[in-house]
Amino acid sequence: MDQSRIRNFCIIAHIDHGKSTLADRLLEATGTLTSREMQAQVLDSMDLERERGITIKSHAIRMPYTAPDGEKYVLNLIDTPGHVDFTYEVSRALNACEGAILVVDAAQGIEAQTISNLYLAIGQDLEIIPVLNKVDLPSAQPELVAQSITDLIGGDPDDVLHVSAKTGVGVDKVLERIVERVPPPTGDPKAPLQALIFDSTFDTYRGSVVYVRVKEGTLRKGDAIEFMATHARYNAEEIGHLKLKMAPVQELGPGEVGYVIGSVKDVADTRVGDTVTHQRRGASEQLPGYRDVKPMVFSGIYPTDSNDFEDLRAALEKLQLNDAALTYEPETSAALGFGFRVGFLGMLHMEVVQERLDREFGLDIVTTMPNVRYTVELTDDNHTEVENPSDMPDPGSIKEIREPYVKAEIITPTEYVGALMGLCQDRRGTYVTQEYLTTDRVNLKYELPLAEIVFDFYDKLKSLSRGYASFDYEFIEERASKLVKLDVMLNGDTVDALSTIVHREKAYDMGRKLSQKLRELIPRQLFDVAIQAALGNKVIARETVKALRKDVTAKCYGGDISRKRKLLEKQKEGKKRMKQVGAVEVPQEAFLAVLSME
């Protein structure tokens, strides 16, 4: 295929600025899909994604396009996820493109993920096409927002396209602009094959379906191929274009985007970011882009019913097939039994996985407080990594504990700056700088310990700013902090799953609040339950849940059987998410108590 007729691009935007809606309009406008065929937002294929309105997995679609001058083009739209947790997925998708449409909501203006995604795109040398979306909204301020975009990326504000993905206004102009501005791919069809894997999915019958962007050389059906990072060898049994359905072809030349199927049964062989080449006369070097993704946030996941352990393992295995960033390892907790320590990219990733376990696999799970990974320098000059607070070595053997720090950007209307600075200060943040984006919007920069934002930072930020502030973060480095392990005991027994790592100066306050919260959350039982928070052997807070005879039917007068049954059922329901810890029944919420503390 003639490379000068190909345009590979992606759409980047802050969440809810209209990326998926614009993608739908482009599919319609190019006739890739008629509106009758169109289900709202076809690109968001997972149920959960649709509900949350977040595009989690990258997808790609090929659109035929005839320009106003009659010339025919092929536009490959590579969809990218917009949330900070998925930065890695964004950058690998960007790697497959030459241009990026930067969508900014004309009413909301530039938000935190607008900037972080923009930087990623600029980092990949992509041609940026700024687009103002939602110009149909009465609250749109296109001139102002266009100005702030060009302040950021340069250029003329009059050049910024005005679009309504809702009504379709301006969508044609977007297509024209793509052809005009996005450079066609370059690549030598005769060079050794280098094709970038930017995504993969797993099909039970056909094995891994690998999505590639050919950079150099030509991939033909039946070719003997090798995945360079893993050295795994297969035959390209089927290759094709990514239309609404997969469309087999005989060859993919440089600049083309498509899929490869090779009966790959072991998904670990097909890593996103890896390079596909030929077994004979293959490329000597991999394309840049391959990186092992490191989970940043960890949490214990345990089946409520210990008989479900193997089902939970099978479910995690399945999820990992399409989510290489997810890691898990079996662990045992004295309190919760057999389960897994699961690693996530961030909080949203964690929520999504938890919900999928519940919804798609029907598993009843108990999750523990999320925590970050700590590096502990020991007095014997060894060091160890701690992903579970209860594994923290004895304080006597610790020389230093290091924790991950992030660089955070908070974009907010000026009136909330004070409150948000207070929040950052409270979360052990270090002020870096602030920049005005417009006269009434500020980009506030802080360095913060990651552990302080995995709790409830985002919710606090939203409530302090009435929903107006947005936030994004990026890992910078590990730094030494004065951290201690805070334990919780129920009737004298330490509950390992409730241990947390906290800053020494916050430990007392935290211990007190945590035990108070647990007192509220743990239901009354047939005996007193003593809740204690402790640093080492030292108890720093204590609360008691008073005993109660748990006879819910006592409330019923007379013999109204149906009402009685209802109550019993309700009680059974309530029990579902309980976990027996020693003699004490502890509800799921208790393991996340820190999250709901004031």
Nearer to ligand GTP, 21 or 367 (CB): 21
Give the HSE-up count for residue 310: Cα atoms under 13 Å, Cβ half-sphere: 1
Quick one: 15 or 410, whose CB is closer to ligand GTP? 15
Instruction: Return the range that interacts with ligand GTP (CB under 6 A); candidates 50-58, 214-222, 489-497, 513-521.
Output: 50-58
Is 311 assigned to a binding site? no
Provide, rounded to whole angstroms, the least separation between the CB of residue 330 and ligand GTP: 34
Candidates 48-56, 249-257, 300-308, 572-580 — which segment interacts with ligand GTP by CB under 6 A?
Answer: 48-56
Flag whether 352 is marked binding. no
Residues 230-289 that bind ligand GTP (CB under 6 A): none
Report how far residue 80's alpha carbon sits from residue 187's, in angstroms, rounded to the nearest whole number: 24
> What is the DSSP code (8-state) at residue 57?
S
CB of 55 vs ligand GTP, minimal distance in Å: 4
CB of 286 vs ligand GTP, minimal distance in Å: 30
Residues 6+ away with beta carbon under 8 Å from 547: 524, 525, 526, 527, 528
Distance in Å, CB of 14 to ligand GTP, minimum: 7
Tell me the number of residues near ligand GTP by CB under 6 A: 19
Q: How many Cα neighbours within 13 Å face the side chain of 55?
A: 29
Min dist CB 124 to ligand GTP, Å, is 19
Token pair of 422, please? 């207070």
Q: How far apart are CA 14 and CA 1, in angstroms?
A: 34
- Cα of first residue to Cα of last residue in the chain, in angstroms, is 61
Residue 55 interacting with ligand GTP (CB under 6 A)? yes
Is 19 annotated to bind ligand? yes
Half-sphere exposure of 534 (CA within 13 A, CB side): 17
- Amino acid found at 294: K
Q: How far is the CB of 409 from ligand GTP (least distance, A)?
A: 18
109 binds ligand GTP (CB under 6 A): no
- Report the C-alpha gap between 411 and 470 in whole angstroms: 5
**Is 214 flagged in the annotation as binding?**
no
User: Is the CB of 7 or the CB of 17 nearer to ligand GTP?
Assistant: 17
Count how many Cα atoms sit within 13 Å of the Cα of residue 465 in the half-sphere of its side chain. 26
- Distance (Å, whole) CA 242 – CA 78: 10
Q: Write down the least CB distance from residue 87 to ligand GTP, Å.
A: 14
Q: Are 587 and 490 in contact (CB under 8 A)?
A: no
Asked whether residue 133 is marked as a ligand-binding residue, the answer is yes
Q: From the CB of 366, what's the least distance to ligand GTP, in Å?
A: 29
Asked if 549 contacts 528 with a C-beta cutoff of 8 angstroms, the reply is no
Residue 13 or 586 with smaller CB distance to ligand GTP: 13
Residue with tokens 């020494």: 504
| Candidate list 6, 27, 54, 319; residue touching ligand GTP; CB under 6 A | 54
Helix, strand, coil % over all residues of the chain, rounded to 5: 30, 35, 35
Element (H, E) at 438: strand 430-438
Task: Out of 7, 19, 62, 349, name the contact with ligand GTP by CB under 6 A.
Answer: 19
Query: Is 20 known to sit in a ligand binding site?
Result: yes
Q: Give the phi and the psi of residue 500 in degrees, each rounded to 5.
A: -135, 160
Say whether residue 16 binds ligand GTP (CB under 6 A). Answer: yes
Site for ligand GTP in 112-171 (CB under 6 A): 133-134, 136-137, 164-166
CB distance 539 to 532 below 8 Å: yes
User: How far is it, in rounded angstroms, from Cα 304 to Cα 588?
Assistant: 9
CB nearer ligand GTP, residue 164 or residue 500: 164
Min dist CB 348 to ligand GTP, Å, is: 11
Q: Is there a contact between 340 and 312 (Cβ–Cβ < 8 Å)?
A: yes
CA dihedral 218, 219, 224, 229 (to 10 degrees): 90
Interface stretch with ligand GTP, choices 12-20, 449-457, 506-514, 535-543 (CB under 6 A): 12-20
134 is in an annotated binding site: yes
465 is in an annotated binding site: no
d(CA 170, CA 163) in angstroms, rounded, equals 5
CA nearest to 380, candidates 401, 392, 397, 394: 397
Q: Is 18 annotated as a binding residue?
A: yes
Contact assessment for residue 111 and residue 23, using Cβ atoms and an 8 Å cutoff: no
Q: How far apart are CA 408 and CA 121, in angstroms?
A: 19
Site membership for ligand GTP, residue 82 (CB under 6 A): yes
Q: 15 vs 242, which CB is nearer to ligand GTP?
A: 15
Interface pick for ligand GTP out of 12, 18, 218, 584 (rule CB under 6 A)? 18
Interface mask (CB under 6 A) for ligand GTP, residues 399-418, using x and -?
A: --------------------
Minimum Å gap between C-beta 82 and ligand GTP is 4
Mask of contacts with ligand GTP, 20-39, x by CB under 6 A?
xx------------------
470 binds ligand GTP (CB under 6 A): no
Q: Residue 15 Cβ, how far from ligand GTP at the closest point, in Å? A: 4
Pick between residue 82 and residue 273 the one whose CB is nearest to ligand GTP.
82
Please tell me whether 8 is known to bind a ligand: no
- What is the C-alpha to C-alpha distance for residues 109 and 140, in angstroms, rounded to an integer? 9
- DSSP letter (8 states) at residue 193: P
Residues placed in the known binding site for GTP: 16-21, 133-136
Binding site for ligand GTP (CB under 6 A): 13, 15-21, 53-55, 82, 133-134, 136-137, 164-166
